[in-house]
Amino acid sequence: MQNRNDSEPHGRLLLIDGDEPHAQVVAETLGQSLGGRMRIAVAAGGRQAVELLRDTGFDIVLADLSCLRDLCERSDDAVARLVRLADGALFVAVSDGASVSAAVGAMRAGAHDYVVKPLNGPAMAARIGELAQRHGKGRSLSIEPQAQGRSDYAGFIGASSAMQFVYEQIGRVATSSAPVFITGESGTGKDVCAEALHEEGPRRDKRLVAINCAAIPRDLMESELFGVARGAFTGAHDDRKGAAELADGGTLFLDEIGEMDLSLQSKLLRFLQTGTLSRVGESGVRHVDVRVICATNRNPMQLISEKKFREDLFYRLHVLPIHLPPLRQRPTDIMVLAQHFLARYAAEEHKHFTGFTPDVASLLTSAEWKGNVRQLQNLVRRLVVMCDGGTITMPMLVAADIESRGVVTPVEPTPRVERRPVILPMWQQEQRIIEDAIASFGGNVSLAAAALEISPSTIYRKRQGWAEMAAAS
Ligand SMILES: Nc1ncnc2c1ncn2[C@@H]1O[C@H](COP(=O)(O)OP(=O)(O)OP(=O)(O)O)[C@@H](O)[C@H]1O
């Protein structure tokens, strides 16, 4: 018996999409989401698809109904013809939300399924997996849905292995009552994680009460957390429950726990040890049953060493740790998230976007994302608001990004007044290119030379020449 190499593609997929750059992005994200298990070919319209189908056998055909007009006037006639040619391949019609009748017509003409644009790689891969399974082709194509991992989970979007690990941890610890300690840079989804833990656990029918320890003034924090008795201080006209009591039976989420005042940390520790609290200005104690989740974007060990965080409290809270990886460490999630936010904000703004051009996708994928998912989300939202629709191109990205001074290197704004550009002599332009390259490698001439594909000695020689030219001019 011959062993099949698992890293080899096991089937062929034909993507018919009239918009070439968009098709390339879809093919790339879909290919990644299918784990490289399918060889993907792209046809720019119905006619090209016919040629490819005549030459090659495909297992799956994904056809955008809006680009088949070069084959037949009616999309259902085109689908019927392609289905015949595809000879048993699974046929998925892609329609935009507005043309439900076209999707129905495609199904009548022999399509096995239809999906609505915009196409999202992981969701599409999961759909293909289900379809293959339903038609008994899952095993031969090696794309059973369970082999895919999850592309979303309880409010999270992301199919990377780092996020699979996070989903698994949440699933495992959600049922416990022990405290969870979430760490991760700002914008990595610590709030999303707290909500997922609550929703996936047995306390979901009770409240999740969140309190941000950095946002509440120090002298109000105790009453916000533990409540207040009437007359405890000027302005305390009524008895009031704090976050802990409000969360009774549910979950108390202490966000930015690293910012909590030291004296309140002792009271929190006592609450965790005894399960009882006293409202400010009250002498009796109350029993409260909460599951505590806390989060910080600081390094807790450093806070402890700086004596800003009590070590005993840390070990009380740090029972079930979950770390959320920064976005730059899971680049395969970037376009998945970008497509998700694009679809979401486009729907909110009643606009139609098809995706991102490959150069935009590659820039987004390699960006540093210091603000993590929040930064990406804000950028996509700004793009949707600023642009009319279609595919997000590099000029659109640059225009939207200048506002945020973020992902793309800011470029000079276009001058309003038409002016003849100042042309510098060739040696000065060359000098600028080379010096910029050296600066971007932190002054390392060898690295800059390698990037410019010249030798370091050329740079040294040119520098000497520039010094002489400058002295002469
Ligand atoms: N994996 C994800 N999928 C979808 N949305 C996400 C994901 N991670 C974060 N977000 C979104 O990004 C934004 C920031 O997330 P969140 O507030 O949970 O981050 P955080 O780590 O708590 O940040 P901070 O430390 O600044 O409070 C939110 O709008 C959230 O919905």
Q: State in Å: Cα 93 to ligand 1 middle.
A: 34
pLDDT at 442: 62
Phi-psi region of 70 (alpha: psi -120 to 50; beta: other; left: phi over 0): alpha
Q: Which of 287, 306, 323 is the C-terminal boundary of a domain?
A: 323
Residue 309, helix vs strand vs coil: coil
Q: What is the pTM of this model?
A: 0.61
The residue range of the domain holding 242 is 161-323
pLDDT at 412: 44
Mean pLDDT lowest for which of 93-107, 250-264, 281-295, 327-341?
Answer: 93-107
Q: Which of 323, 340, 369 is the C-terminal boundary of a domain?
A: 323
Q: 255 and 190 in contact (C-beta within 8 Å)?
A: yes
Same domain, 167 and 314: yes
Give yes or no for residue 334 having a pLDDT over 50: yes
DSSP 280: B
Atom of ligand 1 nearest to the CA of 297: 25
Total number of domains in the chain: 4
Phi first, then psi: give them for residue 91, nearest 5 degrees: -115, 120
Same domain, 187 and 306: yes
Q: State in Å: Cα 191 to ligand 1 middle.
A: 6
Please, which residues have CB within 8 angstroms of residue 412's CB and are 6 or more apart in sequence? none
Q: State in Å: Cα 189 to ligand 1 middle.
A: 3
Using alpha carbons only, how large is the chain's radius of gyration in Å?
Answer: 29
Same domain, 241 and 288: yes
Phi first, then psi: give them for residue 289, nearest 5 degrees: -110, 100
Same domain, 251 and 121: no
Same domain, 16 and 116: yes
Alpha-carbon gap, residue 22 to 289, rounded angstroms:
52
Residue 289, helix vs strand vs coil: coil
Give yes or no for residue 5 having a pLDDT over 90: no
Q: Is residue 414 part of a domain?
A: no
Mean pLDDT lowest for which of 19-28, 58-67, 261-270?
Answer: 19-28
Q: Which residues of 394-411 are buried (b: 16+ CB within 10 A; e: fewer)?
A: eebbbbbbeeeebbbeee
Q: Is residue 156 part of a domain?
A: no
CATH of the domain at 384: 1.10.8.60
Mean pLDDT over 235-241 rounds to: 84
Cα–Cα distances in angstroms (integers) from residue 452 to residues 366, 430, 442, in the given order: 20, 11, 15
Find, among 117, 145, 149, the residue nearest to 131 by Cα. 145
The residue that leads in pLDDT, 36 or 412, is 36
Q: Please say whether the dihedral angle defined by the alpha carbons of residues 351, 352, 357 and 363, taken in this order, is positive or negative.
A: positive
Same domain, 186 and 139: no
Give yes or no for residue 114 having a pLDDT over 90: no
The strand order across the sheet containing 60-64 reads: 38-43, 11-16, 60-64, 90-95, 113-116
Give yes or no for residue 303 having a pLDDT over 70: yes
The residue contributing the CA closest to ligand 1 atom 22 is 190
Q: Is residue 419 part of a domain?
A: no
Residues having CB within 6 Å of any atom of ligand 1: 156-158, 184, 186-192, 297, 337, 373-374, 377
Same domain, 200 and 55: no
Q: State in Å: Cα 364 to ligand 1 middle.
A: 18
Atom of ligand 1 nearest to the CA of 163: 1
Same domain, 299 and 185: yes
Alpha-carbon gap, residue 183 to 312, rounded angstroms:
18
Q: Which two tokens stand for residue 403?
A: 């506002």
pLDDT at 290: 97
Q: Which of 323, 343, 361 is the C-terminal boundary of a domain?
A: 323
ipTM over 0.90: yes
Q: Is residue 5 part of a domain?
A: no
The residue contributing the CA closest to ligand 1 atom 5 is 156
Q: Is residue 396 part of a domain?
A: yes
Residue type, 322: I
pLDDT digit string (tens) for 23-53? 777 787 777 777 677 888 999 999 999 999 9
The residue contributing the CA closest to ligand 1 atom 27 is 186
Percent of the chain with pLDDT over 70: 85
In terms of average pLDDT, the best of 318-332, 349-363, 371-385 is: 371-385
- How many residues belong to the chain? 473
pLDDT grade for 258, boundaries at 50, 70 and 90: very high
Q: How far is CA 342 from the centre of its chain?
A: 11
Alpha-carbon gap, residue 317 to 300, rounded angstroms:
11
pLDDT at 349: 94
CATH of the domain at 276: 3.40.50.300
